[in-house]
Amino acid sequence: MRKYKEAQVIQMIFKPQVVEAKMHERNDATNLYHVVARLQDNTHCRIIYNNGTKSISRLLKNPCPICRKDTHCKCLDRFVEEIASQVDFAQL
């Protein structure tokens, strides 16, 4: 039986929920948007929309909800679509 690390298990069950999102920077001319979102577990992250591609990085206010590191990590990368889909651009 395969053994999983705790972080892997958390990543499998992690369900990000955006509770707050703010437009931080908006540049319609270059199609670049920068949104800061807060998740239900108080994780803050920055979503960058650059000409249709999205990337995410965690703000270092709180440890990562998945690996618990308080430095940069890539855990949220695979949730970028899920998190971004909860941000309604028209409302920002």
Distance in Å, CB of 50 to Zn ion, minimum: 22
Residue 36 or 73 with smaller CB distance to Zn ion: 73
Distance in Å, CB of 91 to Zn ion, minimum: 28
C-alpha span between 31 and 42 (Å, rounded): 28
Residue 33 or 65 with smaller CB distance to Zn ion: 65
Work out the angle at residue 5's Cα, subtended by the Cα atoms of residues 12 and 80, and round it to the nearest 5 degrees.
Answer: 35
Which spans of this chain sit near Zn ion (rule: CB under 5 A)? Answer: 64, 66-67, 73, 75
